[in-house]
């Protein structure tokens, strides 16, 4: 698995988790969903992703998007 796929997996898990928490606990968890979405959007245009930087340092191989 490369950095790109791991970033998408993390984002998907966090979005699903925050949506579930918004239904079970508080609607304010939707702000976390929006935060993840905004980070994905800005990463698409700038190429800057903090999680990708961390995963590269851990040793995952770079993909095409965050090289």
Helix (H) or strand (E) holding 51: helix 50-58
Is-contact 36 12, C-beta < 8 A?
no
Residue 67 reports pLDDT greater than 70: no
- Residues whose CB is less than 8 angstroms from the CB of residue 47 and which lie 6 or more positions away in sequence, other chains included: 65, 66
Neighbour-count burial for 27-48, b at 16+ CB within 10 Å, e otherwise: eebeebbeebeebeeebeeeee
Give 12-63 pLDDT, tens digit per residue. Answer: 999 999 999 999 999 999 999 999 999 999 998 998 999 999 999 999 998 8
Contact 59, 3 (CB under 8 A): no
């Amino acid at each position: 698995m490369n950095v790109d796929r791991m970033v998408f997996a993390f984002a998907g898990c966090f979005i699903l988790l925050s949506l579930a928490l918004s239904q079970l606990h508080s609607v304010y968890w939707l702000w976390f969903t929006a935060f993840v979405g905004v980070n994905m959007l800005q990463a698409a245009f700038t190429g800057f992703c903090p999680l990708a930087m961390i995963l590269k340092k851990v040793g995952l191989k770079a993909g095409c998007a965050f090289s």
